[in-house]
Amino acid sequence: MADLARCLVLVFVFTAMDLVWCEQCLPGPFHKPQPSPETNQFHDCLSWRQDSCCWPNVTLELKVNRSINLYPGFRWDYCENLTPECERFIKNEECFYQCEPSLVHFGDPGYKGAVKAVPICANYCDAWFQACQTDKTCEPNWYSGFNVSNGRYYCPNNHVCQTFQDAYKNGEGLCNIMWGPSFYYEKSNKKCMVMEFNSSLSNPNMDVRPTAAPPSGASKDHISSLAMLQTIMLMNWL
């Protein structure tokens, strides 16, 4: 009943009645049905504490264990420990996926619970690359490049750890490749999203909506081990 009350607000002004429908959240085992504030309960992902699609226990999990228990066996540091600044950007990406209300507009029709063609601001991608360029990865495409066995993730056979500099070349390569078709590098600062912002200000992502098509340089990979796992987890959750 509380969810219904949040989703359907009847505002009476004298004899006029306005009907306001709230946003829904992207479906997923760690997503709320509708966004809501968590002000003093968040342990991480603080950008979204005023209005979030993720539960507080998800932010605690990210703070303590990173994403290991969200996606069994999936790690950020297969090659070596990430530098603190790089890890912050990787964690921001997970916070963004779990908590951002506007991602409901970018759902991938091929995989329920996954996103597709989300425009990420160029300056954010460039800062992410700058923070991680000396860190290493065993696979450039984290969306579909890992081997999966018994629900756990492994680096590809005969993999070679390489720096982000070698794997992605620049911020555009990072945002277009790292998460497959999920994100792309957007040069217009009026039509893009960021993965971290000041929670005391309004969410800058709220007015961003899908465009007709991402630029030709963006990844079009649709065979995703991670998206498939998300779909399986979603089916088990339902």
Confidence tier at 224 by pLDDT (50, 70, 90) = very low
% pLDDT > 70, the chain:
79
Quickly count: other Cβ atoms within 10 Å of residue 81's Cβ: 11
The per-residue pLDDT for 231 is 44
Q: Return the pLDDT at 130.
A: 98
**Residue 30 near residue 98, CB atoms below 8 Å:** yes
Q: What is the mean pLDDT of residues 8-14?
A: 33
Whole-number pLDDT of residue 214:
62
Model confidence over 71-107: pLDDT tens digits? 777 889 999 999 999 999 999 999 999 999 999 999 9
Mean pLDDT of the chain: 82
